[in-house]
Amino acid sequence: MSTFQAPKGTYDLIPPDSAKFLAVREAISAPLRDSGYGYIETPGFENVELFARGVGESTDIVTKEMYTLTTKGGDQLALRPEGTASVLRAALEANLHKAGNLPVKLWYSGSYYRYERPQKGRYRHFSQVGAEAIGTEDPVLDAELIILADQAYRSLGLQQFRILLNSLGDRECRPVYREALQTFLRDLDLDEETRRRIEINPLRVLDDKRADVQKQLTDAPRLRDYLCDACKAYHEEVRALLTAAGVVYEDDEKLVRGLDYYTRTTFEFVHDGLGSQSAVGGGGRYDGLSEMIGGPALPSVGWALGVDRTVLALEAEGVELDLPVTTSVYAVPLGDEARRALFTVVTELRRAGVAADFAFGGRGLKGAMKSANRSGARYTLVAGERDLAEGVVQLKDMESGEQAAVGLADVVAELKTRLG
Ligand code: ATP
Ligand code: MG
């Protein structure tokens, strides 16, 4: 061990487990790539104001969880706590919405930072794959995104996840509900901070995890009863499209989510094997966000799925991913001449697309064969001076144990055939 450790609330992805993370990112992004979403990458930090305005001054993310810093040049920056505000900022900056091709459909994958109380499934550095469809108000788009996330989780083999669905209304009906809710909440027995929250963002109080708070919320006015006709019709359409696609969801009228920008469709993917950190992903429609960060009206919808929690969900369900083979052939040279000859073979194999590795450092046969075993390679190539004198290498099938001498000049072709 060195003098240093990974900072509190972070962990390193190391082989072999790191392969699961790559596979999860791949599985989540594949349905998006096949559905017209283009890849976008934005900086790991942004002007702090982007998040203050875009995510919301009243959210935990902005008030408590953001890593902020002042640069030597005096700029106020924040490590990105989420992806949507940055992606929308970048799309507006590049005028993607003006290319006459709405919606702008984008996907991303990267690291996010939140100063949280670390626990299993909750870290200070975590990773998400996300998708945003910008500039179009169409229930089909909301449904598309939910269906693609469902498809991604299913392709990974996950089964014990549920989709929670709600509508948060729009700028017509939500203010009316907000007032009704505030009136109700002000009469409850709540602590100072929660009382403040009632004035800034009362919907967030519904999301309070504490049992004594939840107990008082049983008779709270329900957003569903306040939705305007347009919001109701929109929501019904999203629900019908999901049902038609065979996607099972649960109506959850308490689902509000921790970001201020959501309107209408809101959803969360939860996994029942994860304890209290049960949300594996979430998203929704954010019709007002563009204007909140100084852009034109661009109704949009998106989601972000947490890679770390998805890996935990796979482990909780005992799903073994079908990971790509890392090494197919492992070469073990005995002596200097064999080292040069086999390294040439390994290079040729690699150029021919065969995953191959090599016993470096002039190790003895026993130790090198141990490494060959550990590598999981299907075949090993062993060659010593006598083999080379005969122009052959020993090709061993690690599954059957069979071994045969193969001409040095033929071995690449032979392995390509055998590996199909
Ligand atoms: P939670 O309610 O658990 O705090 P959230 O609502 O803050 O989640 P989002 O901002 O919607 O989460 O982020 C989308 C996904 O990113 C979450 O569903 C989760 O899988 C993941 N995520 C969020 N925060 C963390 C974290 N601190 N550590 C690991 N994963 C996280
Ligand atoms: Mg959170």
All structural domains of the chain: 18-173+227-317 (3.30.930.10), 329-419 (3.40.50.800)
Region 218-228: what's the mean pLDDT? 93
Q: Is 82 in the pocket of ligand 1 (CB under 6 A)?
A: yes
Q: For 291-302, how does the pLDDT look when each residue is reduced to its tens digit (9 = 90+)?
A: 999 999 999 999
Q: Which range is least confidently modeled, 21-35, 68-82, 251-265, 340-354?
A: 251-265
Closest CA to 48 of 71, 25, 18: 71
Six-digit token string for 277: 């950190």
Q: pLDDT band at residue 328, thresholds of 50, 70 and 90?
A: very high
Q: Indicate if the pLDDT at residue 206 is higher than 90.
A: no
pLDDT in the model for residue 69: 97
| Secondary structure (H, E, C), 205-241 | HCCCCCHHHHHHCCCCCCHHHHCCHHHHHHHHHHHHH
| End-to-end Cα separation, the chain, in angstroms | 43
Judging by beta carbons within 10 Å of its beta carbon (0-12, 13-18, 19+), is residue 160 exposed, middle or buried?
middle
Strands of 263-271's sheet in order across: 38-39, 104-113, 125-134, 300-306, 279-285, 263-271, 161-167, 250-251
pLDDT in the model for residue 124: 98
Please say whether the beta carbons of 385 and 338 come within 8 A: yes
Which residue, judged by its Cα, is nearest atom 19 of ligand 1?
Answer: 306
Q: Indicate if the pLDDT at residue 398 is higher than 90.
A: yes
CA distances from 97 to 25, 93, 105, 135, 188 (A): 27, 10, 10, 7, 45
Of 201 and 148, more confident: 148
pTM metric for this prediction: 0.93
Which residue, judged by its Cα, is nearest atom 18 of ligand 1?
Answer: 281
Residues marked as binding for L-histidine? 82-84, 114, 128, 132, 257, 261-262
Q: Which range is least confidently modeled, 114-118, 250-254, 307-311, 392-396?
A: 250-254
Q: Is 309 in the pocket of ligand 1 (CB under 6 A)?
A: yes
Region 29-55: what's the mean pLDDT? 96
Question: Which numbered ligand comes closest to the C-alpha of 115?
Answer: 1
Q: pLDDT band at residue 260, thresholds of 50, 70 and 90?
A: low
Question: Which numbered ligand comes closest to the C-alpha of 81?
Answer: 1
Mean pLDDT of the chain: 95
Q: Is 308 in the pocket of ligand 1 (CB under 6 A)?
A: yes
How many H-runs (helices) and E-runs (strands) does the chain carry?
16, 16
- b/e burial code for range 262-290 (CB count within 10 A of at least 16 → b): bbbbbbbbbbeebeebbbbbbbbbbbbbb
Q: Indicate if the pLDDT at residue 259 is higher than 70.
A: no
pLDDT in the model for residue 179: 94
The DSSP code sequence of 373-420 is HHHT-SEEEEE-HHHHHTTEEEEEETTT--EEEEETTTHHHHHHHHH-
Q: Which range is least confidently modeled, 78-82, 85-89, 195-199?
A: 195-199
